[in-house]
Amino acid sequence: MQRLRGPVTTMTTRHPEPASSVKKLLTPRRRRRVVENDEYSAFARRVIRAYSRRVAAGDIDAISDMTRLADDLDRAIRDAITGLRSHGYSWADIGTRLGITRQSAWERWGGEAP
């Protein structure tokens, strides 16, 4: 009888990694293009202007949707300012960026959400 030398190892069951369906030679490694906030806001402004032209051209039923959009935008601005405040920005910082006084910024967005 022959004796085994060295440490005894236990065999564990390993599940093979699933094969990738991506062909690496055909998929170049490109960095994702970072889209800046300026580009997003310019796009949103174009969409809103196009929507207003549609309503102005006679789509009276869409005016109620457009006012809901304005409400959503006001809510989004409030959320953005709340986030800026939680990151340590002052009312003066926010007011300066908006071209208003810190007092005006606080009066508009400093209270409780309606």
What are the helix (H) ranges across the chain? 37-56, 63-86, 91-98, 102-109
Tell whether 21 is covered by a domain: no
Tell me the per-residue pLDDT of 57-68, one tens digit each, with 9 for 90 and over. Answer: 999 999 999 999
Give the number of domains in the chain. 1
- What whole-number distance in Å separates Cα of residue 28 and Cα of residue 40? 27
Q: CB burial class (10 A; 0-12, 13-18, 19+) of residue 31?
A: exposed
Tell whether 30 is covered by a domain: no
75: containing domain:
37-109
Tell whether 80 is covered by a domain: yes
Tell me the per-residue pLDDT of 16-40, one tens digit each, with 9 for 90 and over. Answer: 666 667 666 666 666 666 667 888 8
Tell whether 14 is covered by a domain: no
Tell whether 84 is covered by a domain: yes
Is the whole-model pTM more than 0.85?
no
Mean pLDDT, the chain, whole residue set = 82
